[in-house]
Amino acid sequence: MKDFLKTDINFYPDKITYIGDKLEGLNNVKSESKQELVIMHEWETEIMKKSTDFVCELGGDILEIGFGMGISADFIQKAGVKSHTIIELHPQIAEKAREWAADKQGVTILEGDWLEVLPTLVEGTVRTTHKKFDGVFFDPYGFWSKWGELPKMIKPHCKPTTRISHFNASIIQGSSCGFENNPDYSITFEKIDIDPPENDYRNKGSYYIPKVIKNAD
């Protein structure tokens, strides 16, 4: 796979480059030395597959927040969903997402901060009717993306029993997006064994896939 980005670019406080089978960045904020960060790596493939299998259980309309390497997007496409909406903040990753989507039907790429883009998603021209999804997969980079806002922000865009999953930073059985003990949702976890190469964001031998279902109103 060819290098996607040839130069460093601003990614909020970080810089990011696309190299081979992983996304790597340089973080020099509040530090004199640059620390290499692996943002996404192919070892996450099994996680993406199991997460999107759950998200796509009902088929229909799927929302994906964060394109990354496109691993989860590929699995969503293979599920044969009706529509696939992707929100991606990073302009050059969004460009890659548009290239990926060029030969696919029913895919919409929206560039911008998910917190700003999500409230603009409406049905047709009726501005007060939020577009609703059968499944949601959430995997933006970094906690500064305000993961904890997801339960509140996604609620208006859920149908009854919408399936939701997210990349889970919790090293124990718990939701790093805060779905636990939320009366609007029910959550279970699937524990899987993982064996990632040494990296700066996940080195534990277990991963907990969150399986969230929107409770009927």
Per-residue model confidence (pLDDT) at position 19 = 41
Which CA distances in Å does 49 have to 19, 42, 46, 79, 150? 22, 12, 5, 10, 21
The secondary structure element, H or E, covering residue 149 is: none
Q: If DSSP codes are grouped into helix, strand and coil, which group holds residue 82?
A: coil
- Specify whether the CB–CB gap between 177 and 210 falls below 8 A: yes
Residue 30 Rama label (left phi>0; alpha psi -120 to 50; beta): left
Per-residue model confidence (pLDDT) at position 59 = 97
- Nearest 5°: CA angle at 32, between 26 and 171? 55
Per-residue model confidence (pLDDT) at position 9 = 39
**Core vs surface per residue 30-44: b (16+ CB within 10 A) or e:** eeeeeeebbbbbebb
Per-residue model confidence (pLDDT) at position 172 = 86
Q: Where are the beta strands (DSSP E) in the chain?
A: 10-11, 14-19, 22-27, 35-40, 61-65, 83-88, 107-111, 133-138, 158-166, 185-193, 206-214
Which CA distances in Å does 68 have to 24, 122, 182? 11, 25, 28
Per-residue model confidence (pLDDT) at position 43 = 66
- How would you write the pLDDT of the chain (217 residues) with one tens digit per residue? 233 333 343 444 444 444 444 444 433 333 323 333 344 456 678 889 999 999 999 999 999 999 988 999 999 999 999 999 999 998 888 998 999 999 999 999 999 999 999 999 998 765 668 999 999 999 997 767 899 999 999 999 999 999 999 999 888 899 999 999 999 999 999 999 887 666 545 556 788 999 999 998 8
- CB atoms under 10 Å from CB of 144, counted, come to 10
Tell me which amino acid residue 30 is: K
Q: What is the pTM of this model?
A: 0.80
Measure the CA–CA gap between 82 and 59, rounded to whole angstroms: 7
